[in-house]
Amino acid sequence: MKPVNSLSISLKARAKINVGLDVIGKRADGYHELRTVMQTVGLYDNVFIKRTEKPKLKLMTNRKWLPTDGRNLVYRAAEFLIDEFDIDSGVFIELTKSIPVSAGLGGGSSGWATTLIGMRNLFRLPITNPELTQLSQRFGADVPYCVMRGTALAEGIGERLRRLPPHPDAYVLLAKPPVSISTAEIFGRLALASETVHPDIDAIVHGLRLGSLVAVASALGNTLEGVTMEICPAILKLKQIMLDNSALAAQMSGSGPTVFGYFRDRASMRAAATAIAYEMPEVKEVHFTYIYNPV
């Protein structure tokens, strides 16, 4: 996150996966209580921010269908800090999207968090990292994590974060079916009952402490997966194709519908992608990536 020069900065807004996601219950305020292990991966959007002379905020993107006004989270994050700190110069932002949208990969939250960091650094705003994390809580459950990045246990609605030992290295294949999922709809459909299968989040944490990819992979689980699968049965087929092609594990991330698979080597990952292209040609958004642990 080094400035390009004194007038601009370019940053990578990285995607995340939910290694494990457990929904414990529903709170009185309507939100759900979660325990989730989140992990940054290599796939990213690029956020370029530049000072301009005219006091105006302008956003451009490489996706024509994306809004470039207050409906865009990157725009809103910049606008918030401009208002909060009375920034009188103009701001130009170019967002280059690679992360699929409405995919369970935290692209919107990561863009928001990265824009907050970029604006803070570019304008030298008096906000410490802990203050930025606290500030970001008002913008969404995943935003504080996207400020932190790396390997973390998130609890509550996602605002209580605890850093965990780095996730063991792995190749990660991402495949998103051609549907967009509303997180609110999935949580609205979720009916927790005594027979609900809850993933063992503590087993994932133990695997991370051991530094064992096999132990982590064997404990993967997501309470929301079955709910989203009712809307998007392709999730099950994607998981099976990955497992049939040497994935150590395969699972839906977040509220979906993206499926990720862990692979030991690049060749196996590419073989799985080839199988998806052959068996599910409708799945166009397939990405090769890896576990990303910030230094």
Give the position of tokens 């995919």: 103
d(CA 67, CA 86): 24
**Residue 192's pLDDT is what?**
82
For the question of residue 16 being annotated catalytic, the response is yes
For the question of residue 69 being annotated catalytic, the response is no
**Residue 207's pLDDT is what?**
98
Question: Considering only CA atoms, which of 173, 248, 258 is closest in space to residue 224?
Answer: 258
What architecture does CATH give domain 171-290? 2-Layer Sandwich (3.30)
Q: Where are the domains of the chain?
A: 3-163, 171-290
Q: Which two tokens stand for residue 116?
A: 């907050």
**Residue 1's pLDDT is what?**
40
The angle formed by the CA atoms of residues 176, 178 and 182, to the nearest 5 degrees, is: 80
**Residue 83's pLDDT is what?**
94
Which segments of the chain have a pLDDT < 70? 1-6, 194
pTM comes to 0.93
Q: Helical H runs in the chain? A: 73-84, 107-122, 129-136, 143-148, 183-189, 201-210, 213-218, 225-231, 234-244, 266-279
d(CA 126, CA 217): 41
Q: Which of 64, 69, 83, 142 is catalytic?
A: 142
d(CA 226, CA 165): 29
| pLDDT tens sequence across 46-56 | 999 999 988 89
**Residue 6's pLDDT is what?**
66
Q: What is the CATH number of domain 3-163?
A: 3.30.230.10
